[in-house]
Chain A
Amino acid sequence: MTTLARDPGRDLRLTPARRKLNRILCNWQLYLFLLPALAYFLLFRYYPMLGVQIAFKKFKAVPGIWGSPWVGFRNFEHFFKTPDFKRLITNTLAVSVETLLISFPVPILLALLLNQLPSKRYKKLVQTTIYAPHFISTVVLVGIIFLFTSPRAGIINHLIASLGGTRIHFTAEPGWFRPLYIGSDIWQNAGWGSIIYLAALSGINPELHEAAIMDGANKYQRVWHIDLPGILPTVVVMFILSAGKVMSVGFEKAFLMQTSLNISASEIIATYVYKRGLQQSQFDFSTAVGLFESVVNLVMITTVNFLSKKVTNSSLF
């Protein structure tokens, strides 16, 4: 043990303030370690937040961010009144809510099943395979989707035709946008998503299972009464994280999956902000749209977090 005299950070003969100062001074190198990352956060995360003010301004290039005149909520009103507004919100919410409802359970199911697989070798094989799509880039994933769904040459339509059906032009029909989006999302991410649940399952006390077997419970019952409740905290946390992101459907995939024909279903807030902002340089307007999205997300995640604290006692913060 260090003697108190040697540790000015814990020397009780000094005042608390003096001890704190000593701790800071002693650890000056730690602050140096922290400095680059801190500088990054201030420079590239917080400073741009100041730029958000142009959502409330009429942005002009010469006066720039700070000099442009204030216009209050005009940009937001403009956004709410555009004919696009309803469609955008619908598309964005529909994609994320449906993704949440449909893809959320899949990794959980996979984890529960994998966990009960008797053969360790087969389990390893399946796991390695279903994790692989996670490492495919978005560009490649959507590239594969377009190749497979091509009406003349795609393997899916060949299958449909050989079963006697009519070929479907998947990427030209708005109605197919969401199924393709969500289906490919499950294909790519369900396997990887099961890792967290498998980790949680490994934390369940094996004695619970042994006791249940003694009582004559079969596997169905054990999964339902032991495994599921055991991973419930993890499920709740993951759900909060996903629910909180409900407004922020990712730009990358939707942008690639857009075609001129399915745009009525595939235009989401993120792609809209990109087009209006970077392609058409309507900086103030698109910042307002983006801010709207961020604020909704903030509200969502704090609400869902609050509710879950009340209902299940576990939450994110």
Chain B
Amino acid sequence: MLQTELAAKKRGLKVGQTRMDKTFDIMNYVVLTICFLVVAYPLYFVVIASISDPVDVNAGRVILYPVRMTMDGYRRILEYKSFFTGYRNTLVYTGVGTLVNMLLTVPAAYALSRKDLVGRNVFMMMIAFTMIFSAGLIPTYLHIRDLGLIDTMWALILPGAVSTWNLIVARTFFQQSIPDDLLEAAQLDGATNAQFFVQIVLPLSKSILAVLVLFYAVGHWNTYSNALYYIISDDKRPLQLVLRSILFENTMGDMVEDASNLAAQQRLGDLIKYGIIIASSLPLMILYPFLQRYFIQGVMIGAVKG
């Protein structure tokens, strides 16, 4: 072994490491582990609180594991009609909304990625401008109202049909990943723009399509402000709005009716709150680790442009 390697090994270090490095690494592990716990513990707590006896949760006896496990909270949630209509509405809005998003965003992003598109810069400036200035809540609301879209699904889908950020991310992807010679070769073969797009560009773009679908879908699933502004009928409310009325307006009526007294009702209410948080976040929390790669890719493409 080399002299330096021997010397390093003697100190319990790897080659090229100094003692300062080792303390740095230890500190690093400690800090990041603290961060890990700070993030993970609240989530874990909500899970165990949702399956523990509400009396124990209330009294602070639930800390590291569930106490006197009960599925009562979930049982009541599953019997709550609004929970299901909320879920159903959110699924519909997310499905239709994402479809609309993709149909509008992807072809436009491709067109804007083409250097031979006359007027490209004008279009880009027009679109970019909306990122720094917008009409505002009231003018947009009045416009939606005048279009007769209040209390319809379209009020949730159309105002956000194209996300400027996603458009730019997709455009950047097309610019970087579809080589010019590919286009020229296809043109030589007599392919039209449409044919090139559908038969060559799209199959090559599966990853960015996945990224866009995910970004848009998560956006639909999670926003509640548009529904707050535009949805009036109870049965059209998406899940987030139902969630809000349970978590903040304490409208749980039938779910806690049979509790013995007010205090018991409150505790039961808390149990339901923990449970419904899990129930409504579960799909995203489960899917997310598998799709993490795509999300990160999307952010990175956006970062390159930025």
Partners in one complex: yes
Q: Which residues does A use to contact B, with CB under 8 Å?
A: 1-2, 9, 20, 23-24, 27, 29-34, 36-38, 40-41, 44-52, 54, 65, 110, 113-114, 116-118, 122, 125-126, 128-133, 135-140, 142-144, 146-148, 150, 152-153, 155, 158, 161-162, 187, 191-192, 195-196, 199-200, 213, 216, 218-220, 234, 237-238, 241, 244, 251-252, 255-256, 270, 273-274, 277-278, 283, 286-287, 290-291, 293-294, 297-298, 301-302, 316-317
Give B240-281 interface residues, CB cut-off 8 Å to A: 240, 243-244, 247-248, 266-267, 270, 273-274, 277, 280-281
Chain B residues positioned under 8 Å from A2 (CB to CB):
184, 187-188
Give 14 pairs: A residue, B residue, CB < 8 Å, sorted on A.
Answer: A23-B118, A29-B194, A34-B111, A45-B130, A47-B143, A51-B139, A51-B142, A125-B36, A139-B243, A139-B247, A195-B296, A252-B223, A287-B138, A301-B132
Chain A residues positioned under 8 Å from B288 (CB to CB):
131-132, 135
Chain B residues positioned under 8 Å from A316 (CB to CB):
306
Q: B2 at the A/B interface (Cβ < 8 Å)?
A: no
Known contacts A136-B281, A158-B60, A199-B303: does B111 contact A23 (CB below 8 Å)? no
Please tell me if the beta carbons of B138 and A283 are within 8 angstroms of each other in the complex: yes
Q: Which 3 residue pairs spanning A and B have beta carbons closest together?
A: A51-B139, A158-B60, A37-B108
Chain B residues positioned under 8 Å from A200 (CB to CB):
303
Chain A residues positioned under 8 Å from B194 (CB to CB):
29
Known contacts A130-B39, A213-B16: does B158 contact A49 (CB below 8 Å)? no
- Whole-angstrom distance from the CB of A49 to the nearest CB of chain B? 4
Encode contact with A along B196-221: 1 for CB under 8 Å, 0 otherwise.
01000000000000000000001001
19 more A-B residue pairs beyond the given contacts A126-B32, A137-B281, with a C-beta to C-beta distance below 8 A: A33-B110, A40-B104, A51-B138, A113-B32, A126-B35, A130-B35, A139-B247, A140-B280, A147-B49, A191-B39, A195-B303, A218-B24, A234-B303, A237-B306, A251-B137, A252-B223, A255-B225, A277-B138, A297-B133
* Interface SS majority for chain A: helix
Known contacts A37-B105, A199-B303: does B139 contact A298 (CB below 8 Å)? no
Q: Which of B25, B138, B289 has the most CB of A within 10 A?
A: B138
**How many residues of B sit at the interface, in one of the four size bands?**
35 or more
Query: Inter-chain contact count A-B, CB under 8 Å?
Result: 272
Please tell me if the beta carbons of B142 and A219 are within 8 angstroms of each other in the complex: no
Q: Which of A144, A191, A196, A238 has the most CB of B within 10 A?
A: A144
Kindly report which residue of chain B lies nearest to residue A133, judged by CB atoms: B39
Chain A residues positioned under 8 Å from B142 (CB to CB):
48, 51, 54, 65, 283
- Whole-angstrom distance from the CB of B118 to the nearest CB of chain A? 5
Q: Which of B39, B136, B184, B192 contacts A291 (CB 8 A)?
A: B136
- Whole-angstrom distance from the CB of B119 to the nearest CB of chain A? 8
Known contacts A44-B161, A51-B143, A110-B35: does B24 contact A143 (CB below 8 Å)? no
Please tell me if the beta carbons of A37 and B39 are within 8 angstroms of each other in the complex: no
Known contacts A126-B36, A196-B303: does B135 contact A49 (CB below 8 Å)? yes
Known contacts A37-B167, A45-B135, A196-B306: does B42 contact A148 (CB below 8 Å)? yes
Chain B residues positioned under 8 Å from A27 (CB to CB):
114, 116-118, 193
- Whole-angstrom distance from the CB of A6 to the nearest CB of chain B? 8
**Complex-state Cα separation, A161 to B61, whole angstroms:** 13
Q: Which of B28, B118, B184, B247 contacts A20 (CB 8 A)?
A: B118
Q: B177 at the A/B interface (Cβ < 8 Å)?
A: no
Please tell me if the beta carbons of A287 and B116 are within 8 angstroms of each other in the complex: no
- Whole-angstrom distance from the CB of B243 to the nearest CB of chain A? 5
Please tell me if the beta carbons of A132 and B303 are within 8 angstroms of each other in the complex: no
Q: B20 at the A/B interface (Cβ < 8 Å)?
A: yes
Chain B residues positioned under 8 Å from A251 (CB to CB):
137, 225
Please tell me if the beta carbons of A41 and B284 are within 8 angstroms of each other in the complex: no
- Whole-angstrom distance from the CB of B287 to the nearest CB of chain A? 9
Known contacts A131-B292, A140-B277, A140-B281: does B117 contact A30 (CB below 8 Å)? yes
Please tell me if the beta carbons of A137 and B222 are within 8 angstroms of each other in the complex: yes
Please tell me if the beta carbons of A135 and B299 are within 8 angstroms of each other in the complex: no
Chain A residues positioned under 8 Å from B1 (CB to CB):
none
Chain B residues positioned under 8 Å from A218 (CB to CB):
18, 20-21, 24
Please tell me if the beta carbons of B104 and A135 are within 8 angstroms of each other in the complex: no
Chain A residues positioned under 8 Å from B20 (CB to CB):
218-220
Please tell me if the beta carbons of A54 and B303 are within 8 angstroms of each other in the complex: no
Q: Which of B114, B247, B285 contacts A143 (CB 8 A)?
A: B247
**Complex-state Cα separation, A135 to B132, whole angstroms:** 25
Please tell me if the beta carbons of B247 and A41 are within 8 angstroms of each other in the complex: no
Please tell me if the beta carbons of A116 and B24 are within 8 angstroms of each other in the complex: yes
